[in-house]
Amino acid sequence: MHSLVIPAHNEAKNLQKLLKKAYSVLKKTKEKFEIIVVNDNSTDNSDEILKKLNEKIKELRIVTRTKNPGAGYAIREGLGKVRGDIIITMDGDLSHDPAEIANFLKFLKNYDMICGSRYAKGGKAEMTYSRILVSRLFNLIFRKLIGIPVKDFTSGFRAYKAKIIDKIELKSKKFGIFIEIPLKAHLAGFKLTEIPISYHERGFGKSNLNYFKQGPEYLKVAFEALKIKLTK
């Protein structure tokens, strides 16, 4: 069974298009699937939109959070609800194309985790030059510290086998979750690789990610992973 987990904060204008496309893609796999949307403290009409979509998409499961907002909290709660043995995560703002899910599933036959990469050969990133520069700098630091063959730790688009989540302990509260999962999976001995993805400007709304504000949490996760590596 495939479990798609999507954290969403005030994504009412993006959810309908995203979920209809994700449903269509997963339906074509001929495998059982579920779509878990974690509505993370939204103040728009996301709840109303999701309930209407649930009438048509029976595979949709809605998780509503009303405290402790943050991507890390949301993803951890979503992962705790999965029933599948294959997990896919993606952003709720249309920056990731559900059509690429099939490619992730194909590569999972030989790996435990597939990271979607904006910076691998063939990848694309519709981002400002300053954001690309800061993102690449953080990713370079993580790669050098841990020695992991992944160029893009901060992308939320990836697929992995559920056994990884059973094996590692996740602690991140916010966007640090995106680097915590691959770093700890690698240190736990799981086989990782990355495939190119196209990252698009979000459909509607404003991103909550600020690399300078998020930097301390990223570095905290990286040094925790380094500590684990050195004690092995």
Query: Among 59-63, 197-201, 207-211, whose mean pLDDT is lowest?
Result: 207-211
Instruction: For residue 38, give the nearest of 72, 1, 13 by alpha carbon.
Output: 72
pLDDT in the model for residue 175:
83
Sequence spans of domains, the chain: 2-230
Which position has the higher pLDDT, 14 or 183?
14
CA dist list (Å): 188 to 64, 119, 159, 218:
31, 24, 17, 19
pLDDT in the model for residue 130:
75
pLDDT at residue 40 tops 70 = yes
pLDDT at residue 145 tops 90 = no
pLDDT at residue 143 tops 70 = yes
10 Å CB burial of residue 212 (0-12, 13-18, 19+) is exposed
At the fourth CATH level, which superfamily is domain 2-230?
Spore Coat Polysaccharide Biosynthesis Protein SpsA; Chain A (3.90.550.10)
The predicted model scores a pTM of: 0.87
Query: CB under 8 Å to 43, separation ≥6 — which residues?
Result: 10
Query: Residue 200 — very low, low, confident or very high, per pLDDT cuts 50/70/90?
Result: confident
pLDDT in the model for residue 205:
57
Query: Residue 139 — very low, low, confident or very high, per pLDDT cuts 50/70/90?
Result: confident
pLDDT in the model for residue 222:
66
Q: Which residues pair with 8 in a beta bridge?
A: 39
pLDDT tens digits, residue range 84-118? 999 999 999 999 999 999 999 999 999 999 999 99
Q: Return the percentage of the chain with pLDDT > 70, whole number.
A: 87
Distance separating alpha carbons of residues 189 and 54, to the nearest angstrom = 38
pLDDT tens digits, residue range 46-80? 999 999 999 999 999 999 999 888 899 999 999 99
